[in-house]
Amino acid sequence: GAVVSQHPSRVICKSGTSVKIECRSLDFQATTMFWYRQFPKKSLMLMATSNEGSKATYEQGVEKDKFLINHASLTLSTLTVTSAHPEDSSFYICSASGQGPYQPQHFGDGTRLSIL
Give the whole-angstrom CA distance, residue 5 versus residue 26: 7
- Contact between 103 and another protein by CB under 8 A: the answer reads yes
Q: Which of 5, 17, 22, 49 binds another protein (CB under 8 A)?
A: 49
Enumerate the β-bridge partners of residue 73.
Answer: 76
By CB under 8 A, residue 110 contacts another protein: yes
Question: Pick from 46, 62, 68, 76: which binds another protein (CB under 8 A)?
Answer: 46
In sequence order, the 6+-apart residues with CB closer than 8 A to the CB of 1 are: 27, 28
Q: What's the rounded Cα separation, in Å, for the pair 89 and 71?
A: 23
Instruction: Output 57 or 73, the one with its CB closest to another protein.
Output: 57
Residues that bind another protein (CB under 8 A): 2, 6, 31-32, 34, 43-44, 46, 49, 51, 57, 91, 93, 97, 101-110
